[in-house]
Amino acid sequence: MTKTAVLVHGLGNIGKAVIEAVEASPDMECVGVVRSPSSVGTKKNDLRGLADYPGLNALLKAGAKPQVAVICGPSRLVPEDAARYLAAGLNTVDSFDIHDRIPDVLTAMDGQAKAAGRVAVTAAGWDPGTDSVLRALFEAMTPVGVTFTNFGRGRSMGHSVAARAIDGVADAISITIPIGGGRHSRLVYVLAEAGAKQDDIRSRLAADAYFAHDPLEVRFAADAAELASIADNSHGVLMERIGASGFASNQRLSFDMRIDNPALTAQVLVAAARASTRLQAGAYTLIDIPMVALLPGERMTHVARLV
């Protein structure tokens, strides 16, 4: 079996989980990890025996021949990172999660991917991502109605990364709390930098796009040990739709999952990396991709097994 060669960009929680998901996939292999130059050589246990490099050129000079770059850095850096890898001739996969920017990012990536003759899959986590697919399927089943996506309780990776980027924040954990009806509040635990003012941090968090639209509570941890005691990876979602199929009303659909957040995000990214090798040049989200393209093995085997 010819394996798809994967490059992992970034070694945070998602990057580490992607390495593990690739290792567990029979049709894929990881050929190296690209990290910031200052990080290369650190956290060797997280690399699971893989080599790490300060950039793509260094990885290529070492003889690696990646086909897909799985981008595991902050969402705000994804468009720039993806453009660089596409221009270098690699497919890209990412879990970009700034929902209102996805159409613009997808349009830009589509032009870049087609110019390079490559494939980009963006917003390929679980929300946006697999939850997006379920919302689309729910609407196909009940075209008239309303869907509520209720997250948590649990730790949001994207919101935690955004909180850590705020001036005065040394570290942070963001917890999503469902209010109901698709609404949420954010509880952010912050370890402040020495000399930073708590009121300033609160104001900056409240103004950030990740937090500006939801009720927000900020609590300050006394030290790193206290923050570490909060940093559980659990999360989940309850998706509910009440609608009509044809002239029949009161159709009720629901989907519920409780997960390890980085592990599931990584597994979806790996499935999207697989699908990227089966698609024509251009940019896609998960709702654009045939489900069978995400699975290892042959199409007709899955048709016989699942249909």
Sign of CA dihedral 123, 125, 127, 133: positive
Provide the pLDDT for residue 104.
98
Q: Round to whole Å and give the CA distance between 211 and 233.
A: 20
Within 8 A by CB and 6+ apart from 276, the residues are 68, 91, 92, 93, 119, 120, 121
Residues of the chain falling short of pLDDT 70 = none
Q: Residue 265: what residue type? A: T
**Model pTM?**
0.92
The pLDDT assigned to 300 comes to 97
Q: Tell me the C-alpha distance between 230 and 224, whole Å.
A: 10
> Per-residue pLDDT tens for 165-196?
999 999 999 999 999 899 999 999 999 999 99
Q: Are strands 144-151 and 154-155 parallel, antiparallel or unpaired?
A: unpaired
What one-letter code names the amino acid at 209? A
Residue 302's CB is within 10 A of a number of other CB atoms, namely 16
Residue 307 corresponds to which amino acid?
A: V
Nearest to 188 by CA among 199, 172, 201, 177: 172
Model pLDDT, residue 1 = 75
Could you give the CA distance from residue 298 to residue 296 in angstroms, rounded to a whole number?
7
